[in-house]
Chains A and B, each alone.
Chain A
Amino acid sequence: MSSIGTGYDLSASTFSPDGRVFQVEYAMKAVENSSTAIGIRCKDGVVFGVEKLILSKLYEQGSNKRIFNVDRHVGMAVAGLLADARSLSEVAREEASNFRSNYGHNIPLKYLSERVAMYVHAYTLYSAVRPFGCSFILGSYDQDDGPQLYMVDPSGISFGYWGCAIGKAKQAAKTEIEKLQMKDMTCRELVKEVAKIIYIVHDEVKDKAFELELSWVGEVTNGKHELVPKDIRVEAEKYAKVCTTTTSLLHGISVTWVQNNSTFKMGKKKQTLNISLLSMVK
């Protein structure tokens, strides 16, 4: 998939003979080197989950946040170069603040993501600057428009989503997200699923310790974007750990784990097990 664009990849203001801007593609590769972030929209809100890799035991817990507050009702989860992402969060905050100052009400998310995307795109036009090396997911909840989720990538386009993933395990995460029926779920149910997906896509071999950053905005928080409260997060992580440990334990046998009614299908036989039994198996 990767190709060498010798000579045509030195600046963002040069096209290659086959019509590609290599600098923008390299910026997207920078995003793929970072750990995964996902955002999912359900019927009454939006939930973000970030796999925050801990590079040193000396870091204070909760430092190097990857989920930002852009306005009271808007949250932003990022992947890629953290410094670029931080400066873009300031840009987004200014946009939202100016809108409120001029027009007297909350900025609609579609408009905010278009404005920030336009800013990101501007940095892909000139050789004097380099494109931003980060993608981010914006989510908000409004009484009238409901929950909204948008993603912006380094090329400067924004799309609306029901669920999206960015970072190194985005393909695996996307597959997991597609299995969910998010349109019928509430935020509380979704928090557990988001935690589970992050635990599933986390690579235990290559990256060791990680911290799960969870945040939400929706009817459950009265339209305010905030980090998920500690007790709900602990419960979600417990659920995630049970699911992933069980799956990895029975990896050798062809089994499928069906949620909510804990039924194992082994070949053609069906057996029912309690959750408590399963934790003993762990």
Chain B
Amino acid sequence: MERHLMDSQIKGVSTGTTILAVTFNGGVIIGSDSRASIGGYYVSSKTINKLIQVHDRIFCCIAGSLADAQAVTKAAKFQISFHSIQMESPPLVKAAASVLKELCYNNKEELQAGFITAGWDRKKGPQVYTVALGGMLLSQPFTIGGSGSTYIYGYADAKYKPDMSKEECLQFATNALALAMGRDNVSGGVAHLVVITEEGVEHIVIPGDKLPKFHDE
């Protein structure tokens, strides 16, 4: 089935991309590159934002068709904010991920977008959820996604440790993004990182030339 081809063969503008989310002791770091391309030949944007804030402490990163991803996150953001007001408390990360999953699963024929939802809530602390293309929902301590992720599975599996400190986790995420952006032609630009903890949300942007360099660069 065509739907199971790589992200770079998706219709229209796609985010051939590298996205990841990693939990550490006390929070979660979510990161992505910033390139949007058409057909893998033309870079339509060098500075696109793939980290969407769906609530105070919950972020989503998008992969796949950019149009589909933006439409879904817009609908999810509305539903989650309404839910949070009705419940009179911040939403659970699981609830936000479930909302996205419902949208993806019920519209799987038309959509071609996958997400990583990560955030912090009072009940379970920092969490990471993957919502795959067809609407599968999975909770993991860390996850990587997008076309660039195929080049860093080895690095991520080898270097991830549970219960890292914030600095160790930042180094891990930055290295992973840099390695993927270095090999994947449809990932690049700057590295966006967001650190989510109970206290708040911190944005870090690392321009291309400031990314860590490896042996042959």
Residues in chain A within 8 A of chain B (CB atoms): 101-105, 108, 111, 144
Contact = CB atoms under 8 A, between A and B. Distances in A.
A99 to B, nearest CB: 9
A220 B98 CA distance: 30
Q: Nearest 4 pairs between A and B by C-beta?
A: A104-B98, A103-B95, A104-B94, A103-B98
Given A104-B137, A144-B123, A111 B97 contact: no
B87 interface: yes
Contacts of A101: 102
Interface in B76-90: 83, 86-87
Interface string B90-107: 011011011101100000
A187 B101 CA distance: 38
Contact of B98 (A102, A108, A111, A144): A102
Contacts of A111: 86-87
B87 A105 contact: no
19 contacts: A101-B102, A102-B102, A103-B83, A103-B92, A103-B94, A103-B95, A103-B98, A103-B99, A104-B92, A104-B94, A104-B95, A104-B97, A104-B137, A105-B92, A105-B94, A105-B95, A108-B87, A111-B86, A144-B123
B54 to A, nearest CB: 13
A102 B95 CA distance: 8
Interface of B: 83, 86-87, 91-92, 94-95, 97-99, 101-102, 123, 137
A102 B101 CA distance: 9
Contacts, number: 26
B155 to A, nearest CB: 31
Contacts of B95: 103-105
A115 to B, nearest CB: 9
Given A103-B98, A104-B95, A105-B98, 17 more contacts: A101-B102, A102-B99, A103-B83, A103-B91, A103-B92, A103-B94, A103-B95, A103-B99, A104-B94, A104-B97, A104-B98, A104-B137, A105-B92, A105-B94, A105-B95, A108-B87, A111-B87
A74 to B, nearest CB: 16
A262 B101 CA distance: 60
A229 to B, nearest CB: 31
B74 to A, nearest CB: 17
Nearest to A145: B123
Contacts of A104: 92, 94-95, 97-98, 101, 137
A105 B92 CA distance: 9
Nearest to A103: B95
Contacts of B97: 104
Contacts of A144: 123
Nearest to B102: A102
Nearest to B87: A111
A272 B182 CA distance: 87
Nearest to B129: A104
Contacts of A103: 83, 91-92, 94-95, 98-99
A144 B92 CA distance: 13
A31 to B, nearest CB: 28
A225 B86 CA distance: 25
A282 to B, nearest CB: 51
A44 B209 CA distance: 58
A103 B95 CA distance: 4
Contacts of B86: 111
Contacts of A108: 87
Nearest to A107: B87
A144 B123 CA distance: 7
B34 to A, nearest CB: 30
